[in-house]
Amino acid sequence: MSIPPPDRSASVGLIHFALALGGFAIGVTEFATMSLLPYMSRGLHIDEPTAGNVISVYALGVVVGAPLLTVFGARLSRRTLLIVLMSLFALANGLSALAPSYQAMLVFRFLSGLPHGAYFGIASLVAASLVPPEQRTQAVGRVMLGLTTATIIGVPFANWLGQVAGWRWGFSVVTVCALATVVLVLAIVPRDRPDADASPLRELGALRRPQVWLTLGVGAIGFGGLFAVYTYLASTLVEVTGVRSTVVPLVLAVFGIGMTAGNLIVPRFADRALMPTAGALLLWSAASLAVYTVAAHHLWSIVLAVFAIGLGGALGTVLQTRLMDVAEDAQGLAAALNHSAFNTANALGPWLAGMVVAAGYGWTATGWVGCALALGGFAIWAIALLWTIAERRRRPVSGLNEAVA
């Protein structure tokens, strides 16, 4: 594929922005809900632990919806599927803002989670299809910038709005962003035709490929380390670092800045050497998480460690591109399942870290849990790499560089 001319490049940038706006809306609803729990619990007349279930059902919706909606949408064009997914997301978040009871809120949050993984998967495929092959990971990274930017700008704004105007307005902001995404996709994303051979069965064929499962395993285990630390970061800052609660949002913003920087920098290396970059990121994360256990005692050092851990979040973008390579003709399902894997990590990391803290090892022990998970992801990565090399050797190859690309 040739490099697009300048006028087309400008339109590609605008399309990537539109797709990233959808990611921004998803990022706000996923992360801001956690900070709005105290206000939501009072508004729905329940305690905070019970209110926390709305986060769990959202994650469940992501895990269920990613494969389900992608498979059932296999015969739709990607542009049409994006519009359907973001329209459903807007509707569900609008209903969340109007939820009359806790039970209704659970239903609406589950529905909100359904389009999450499928949207990111299809949006990544659309973004990558508009650029030369050697820029695919950078294109996926631009879509993911919406999610990382949400942790820096969207979440604090939604939290502030929830405090001054009520928690329901946080979900209203998400609804507006989702509707704006629908309008932009309708206006500027090129029309495409559904693949004549596309079918739910062909998409399900991705599940027969070992490399798809290995790549998902890298994300489900390796990414769990980040969540193991992030979930308990606020408690660590207050109890171990000894900062005031007003400082916590600033450190959380540093984490978001690290993720954003990672999605700007790392894809350039991944487009040259995809698998080596994934392996290097896992080792970077393991080292950063290990350092965190010592760095947590001082503000300046924990800020640096949190930034470094956030930088490792670029693994999600790299694995998204890897799935495009190994899924062959079932890319939609594989790309969507990437986000099911990360939500598995989001459940696994905090669960294991919580067990360690409850056992009396302290808040900093979450870093060792995260380090172990990152190394576990690296072990799966090594198996995937060796498997790839073995497959290449069984057929004509152009060299080792092709095997590890």
Q: How confident is the model at residue 383 (pLDDT cuts 50, 70, 90)?
A: very high
Q: 371 falls in which pLDDT band (50, 70, 90)?
A: very high
| Cα gap 55→35, rounded to integer Å | 11
Residues 6+ apart with CB under 8 A from 153: none
DSSP assignment letter at 198: -
Q: What is the mean pLDDT of residues 18-37?
A: 85
Which residue has tokens 């539109």? Answer: 18
Q: In degrees, to the nearest 5, what angle opens at C-alpha 299 toward C-alphas 294 and 304?
A: 70
pLDDT band at 196 (very low <50, low <70, confident <90, very high): low
pLDDT in tens, 292-337: 999 999 999 999 999 999 999 889 889 988 887 777 766 667 777 8
Span 154-191, pLDDT tens digits: 877 887 788 788 889 988 999 999 999 999 999 888 88
Pick from 6-15, 123-132, 319-328, 379-388 the range whose average pLDDT is largest. 379-388
The CA distances from residue 205 to 78, 302, 326, 332, 342, in Å, are 19, 44, 12, 11, 21
pLDDT tens, position by position, 115-152: 998 898 889 888 888 888 888 888 888 888 888 888 88
Average pLDDT score over residue span 355-375: 92
Mean pLDDT of 224-230: 87
pLDDT score of 404 more than 60: no
The pLDDT tens digits of the residues spanning 57-102 come to: 888 888 888 888 877 777 788 889 999 999 999 999 999 999 999 8
Which domains, from first to last, does the chain contain? 1-197 (1.20.1250.20), 199-405 (1.20.1250.20)
Give whole-number Cα distances, 263 to 143, 146, 147, 248, 281, in Å: 9, 10, 10, 23, 12
Mean pLDDT of 106-111: 93
Whole-number Å distance between alpha carbons of 283 and 145: 23
Cα 401 to Cα 404: distance, rounded to the nearest angstrom: 5
Q: Residue 62 is which amino acid? A: V
Q: If you average pLDDT over residues 183-207, what whole number do you get?
A: 72
